């Protein structure tokens, strides 16, 4: 099953790859752990070329439902920038992944002759993949994170890879999905891309392009009613010049995309959004007046970005479901691929 089925999502044009890496400078890498009862991994989003700590891309975070164990959001929200790549993994490996991001930042600083002031803010997101992966084994290590960073590129695998290896979405096999949109504002064309780690939702609630497909699948598989559980990480990248506050406004529209897919953000779901722009940097040289030069769009011109975030998030979730192959859980449950029912 290809992305052709979900081409009807939204109205805005897509980027060349229809992925977050359509935003120039953004790269994605995976390391997948898949042996014995370990089915998990790490996915890394590198936000820019060069040293992330030195550049400090302007960024924002939003927590819709806080049943999650992320790292680095407090400082990200306070200072409005990234200092490391963004890494996604499983719930119990957040600490290990954060430590590896610090190791990477220290190595980059030594390589570039950068004198770090003794503080680094690693940003890590997670979802609980314990239905398919023996999560207590904490199988993701520091080497996996560094390998994912080294492997990062503009073309990357989607589906049950990296941090999406063991996830379940709408009762089907979830994973890593991505999509992008092109927007015209004031005569300029900008790109907005989304990557999701999908691990949420109830099968009967699933909607594809507005069709309640989940009901038909649930009926066919005789699925019993269960509460929504799991989580979703949404990472938004853009080259539009925005402030951290404006980015916060944009990434909150990922909620629209999740709702269109059928989520109601249940009690046990951690719904966390991260976003950054490649157009503004808190690490830019300070001018003679002691100020940074940052550009941002007028508030009344943000609507196309709001739409782009909603559309790309919806399609990224569906992409994760279509790209993932079926897998069995630790209890023998078979988590099917959405593509089998379309």
Catalytic sites, residue numbers: 231, 269, 271
The answer to whether 278 and 24 have CB atoms below 8 angstroms apart is yes
Residues 88, 156: Cα–Cα separation, whole Å: 15
CA-nearest of 140, 146, 172 to 159 is 172
CA-nearest of 239, 253, 251 to 297 is 239
The answer to whether 304 and 189 have CB atoms below 8 angstroms apart is no
Residue partners of 299: CB distance under 8 A and separation at least 6: 246
Residues 325, 341: Cα–Cα separation, whole Å: 13
* 176-185 sheet: strands from edge to edge: 57-66, 268-281, 229-238, 188-199, 176-185
Hey, is 189 helix, strand or coil?
A: strand
Structure tokens at 67: 């049943």
Structure tokens at 246: 């404006």
Supply the DSSP string of 252-285, one letter for each residue.
Answer: TTHHHHHHHHT----TEEEEEEEEEEEEEETTSP
Tokens 């790209």 — which residue? 323
């Amino acid at each position: 099953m290809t992305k052709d089925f979900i081409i009807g999502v939204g109205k805005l044009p897509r980027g060349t790859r229809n992925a977050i890496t359509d935003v120039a400078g953004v790269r994605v890498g995976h390391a997948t752990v898949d042996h014995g009862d370990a089915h998990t991994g790490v996915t890394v989003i590198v936000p820019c070329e060069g040293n992330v700590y030195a550049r400090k891309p302007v960024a924002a975070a939003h927590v819709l439902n806080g049943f999650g164990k992320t790292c680095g959001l407090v400082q990200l929200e306070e200072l409005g920038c990234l200092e490391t790549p963004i890494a996604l993994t499983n719930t119990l490996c957040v600490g290990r992944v954060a430590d590896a991001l610090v190791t990477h930042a220290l190595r980059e600083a030594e390589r570039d002759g950068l004198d770090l002031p003794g503080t680094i803010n690693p940003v890590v997101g997670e979802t609980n993949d314990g239905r398919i992966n023996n999560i207590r084994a904490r199988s993701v290590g520091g080497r996996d994170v560094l390998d994912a960073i080294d492997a990062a590129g503009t073309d990357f695998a989607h589906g049950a890879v990296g941090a999406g290896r063991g996830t379940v979405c709408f009762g089907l096999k979830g994973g890593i999905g991505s999509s992008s949109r092109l927007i015209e504002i004031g005569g300029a064309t900008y790109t907005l891309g989304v990557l999701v780690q999908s691990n949420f939702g109830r099968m009967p609630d699933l909607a594809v392009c507005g069709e309640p497909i989940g009901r038909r699948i649930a009926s066919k598989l005789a699925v019993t009613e269960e509460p929504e559980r799991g989580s979703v990480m949404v990472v938004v990248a853009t080259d539009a010049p925005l402030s951290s506050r404006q980015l916060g406004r944009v990434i909150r529209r990922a909620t629209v995309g999740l709702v269109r897919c059928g989520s109601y953000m249940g009690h046990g779901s951690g719904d966390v959004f991260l976003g950054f722009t490649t157009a503004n940097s808190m690490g830019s040289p300070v001018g003679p007046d002691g100020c940074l030069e940052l550009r941002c769009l007028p508030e009344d011109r943000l609507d196309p970005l709001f739409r782009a975030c909603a559309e790309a998030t919806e399609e990224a979730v569906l992409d994760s479901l279509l790209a993932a192959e079926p897998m069995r859980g630790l209890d023998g449950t078979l988590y099917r691929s959405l593509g089998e029912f379309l």
